[in-house]
Amino acid sequence: MFPLHNTYAVHMIGNVHPLAEIRELLRKYPKGLSISEIARMLGQHRNTTAKYLDILQFRGDVDQKQIGTAKNYFPAHRIAVSSLLHFSPFPVVILNGRTEVVMVNGATLALFGCTLDVLYGEPAGNLPIPLFKDRALLDRYHDTLHGAKGSVRLHTVLAGGECDLLVHLIPVVFDTGREGCALVLLNETPARDLAERAARWQQRYEALLADTTEWVIHLRPDMTISYAGDAFCRRAGKTHEELTGFRFTPILSPADQTRVREALFAVTPEAPLQTLEVRTIRSDGEVCREQWSFRGIFTANSTPAEYHCIGRDTTAFRQMEAELSRYRADLESLVSERTQEMQEANQNLLQVIAEKDEVERELIFTRFAFNHASDSILLFDRQGVVYRANMTAGELLGYTPGELHETTVFTINPSISRAAWDRMWKEALPGRKERTRSVHRKKDGHIFDVEVSRTFVEFGEKMYFCSIAREITPE
């Protein structure tokens, strides 16, 4: 290892890219490469490569092992000791390659309650502190010194008290380039105590809010109010002081006072909760319905010390329930009426379907008659392309149905020109028929005489030219 002189430092700063190349190369070979192998792969001089590797080792980016006479370098992720001690707010213990304590921070001495001379220079396993003798920790030093980070949870004794520690083992590198192991100690004892306290308060909170809906009061065994929540105070129109000592029964209807007493008597440790719905009388004389739950709070000898009472106004609910019953009856009547209407509509629909079936049968028969007519029937659109043709036309002209739909009037009737076709369409009049003699041309080119009945037909807002032809045979 050699110092970084000024000229070397300038050279290092100007060659940051080769350092990155070496790091990238070592990532591809995690088992390691020698100086000569790295220099050959990167096309560098061996001495230059050695200098760059020294820089990377100082920075904690690479580690090296001695294999015979050669040094084998491999990627590592280490933290500089000086940086870790400077930034860590937690207790830190630094061990060298022989697992001897070489550095600690002030937080460590405060946690252990000892001075530096007790720790410095001592092997970790010989320290007079129980946590360093824990086998789970001792087994991790070797792996950490070789670049593997880890963590261990320990329950130990520090400064006379029990502690829960989370120990992070972090690979570090010293300023000399040598490897080390850092122990970062996180005292989880305060967090554990807080979690236990939070759990206790959570239990108290859940007990306090058990079955809470709206109004909360506490009743003594003599039915007097010892505590009233804000919601109940607003409902009663009185303050906490005015309600304290006030008997709960006067706000109930006379018939329900006995039921409430019976419910309170029925509250036992085995059955700590009783619920019933009562009629109450408000200060304005209005009679309402309320649901109350009475939960017993018992003394050590299982006698009721108090009753935790929770109530809610169910007046609106009962009114809505009654309205719902009326709506249900109206709905059933409406459903019955609509069902009758739907049955009638279904009958009409069945009749329409029957008529539609009859029309479809007639349409099928019409198509059958069209296809099997003794004469050739062709329908042309405005451009002269065959729109529809019957089977007789295909047989007479020698075309398949698919070929006919790609044929024009000018191919079938060579006597019709484009100009004549346009004149015919200008004078088109739906329904007017014309009989004439003309010629047709078969697919094979043979031209023969035909007697033609021509007319224009209109369907679906479109006009078509209909040609019904019969071949004229020599006598």
- Nearest residue to 418 (alpha-carbon basis) of 452, 384, 385: 384
Tell me which architecture the domain covering 79-191 has in CATH: 2-Layer Sandwich (3.30)
Tell me which architecture the domain covering 6-75 has in CATH: Orthogonal Bundle (1.10)
Helix 6-13 to helix 46-58 angle, to the nearest 10 degrees? 90
Per-residue pLDDT at 9: 36
As given in the structure block, the two tokens for residue 86 are 């400077």
Element (DSSP H or E) covering residue 359:
helix 315-371
Instruction: Grade residue 8 by pLDDT with cuts at 50, 70 and 90.
Output: very low
CB 213 within 8 A of CB 310: yes
Element (DSSP H or E) covering residue 129:
none
Per-residue pLDDT at 168: 92
pLDDT in tens, 409-422: 898 899 888 988 98
User: Span 375-397, mean pLDDT?
Assistant: 89
Q: Among 9-18, 45-54, 145-154, 265-274, which range has the highest average pLDDT?
A: 265-274
Instruction: Grade residue 273 by pLDDT with cuts at 50, 70 and 90.
Output: very high
What are the extents of the domains in the chain?
Answer: 6-75, 79-191, 210-313, 372-471
User: Is the entire prediction scored with pTM above 0.95?
Assistant: no
- 210-313 fold: Beta-Lactamase (3.30.450)
CB 88 within 8 A of CB 201: no
Residue 209, pLDDT > 60, answer: no
Per-residue pLDDT at 95: 92
Task: Work out the percent of the chain whose per-residue pLDDT is above 70.
Answer: 89
Instruction: Grade residue 212 by pLDDT with cuts at 50, 70 and 90.
Output: low
- Nearest residue to 4 (alpha-carbon basis) of 49, 50, 47, 54: 54
Distance of CA 238 to the CA centre of its chain: 50
Instruction: Please tell us whether the domain made up of 372-471 is placed in CATH 1.10.3720.10.
Output: no
User: Span 142-166, mean pLDDT?
Assistant: 84
As given in the structure block, the two tokens for residue 442 are 């078969």
| Between residues 255 and 381, the one the model is more confident about | 381
Instruction: Grade residue 213 by pLDDT with cuts at 50, 70 and 90.
Output: low
What mean pLDDT, rounded, does the chain reach?
83
User: Span 437-466, mean pLDDT?
Assistant: 88
Residue 153, pLDDT > 60, answer: yes
CB atoms within 10 A of CB 283: 10
Instruction: Grade residue 286 by pLDDT with cuts at 50, 70 and 90.
Output: confident
CA distance 148 to 51: 25
Q: Which of 51-60, 111-120, 228-237 has the lowest mean pLDDT?
A: 51-60
| Between residues 279 and 62, the one the model is more confident about | 279
Q: Could you check whether 6-75 and 79-191 share the same CATH topology?
A: no
Residue 184, pLDDT > 90, answer: yes
Q: Which of 26-35, 103-112, 228-237, 316-325 has the lowest mean pLDDT?
A: 26-35
CA distance 91 to 110: 8
Per-residue pLDDT at 91: 92
DSSP 229-285: -HHHHHHHT--HHHHTT-BSGGGB-HHHHHHHHHHHHT--SSS-EEEEEEEEE-TTS
Residue 98, pLDDT > 70, answer: yes
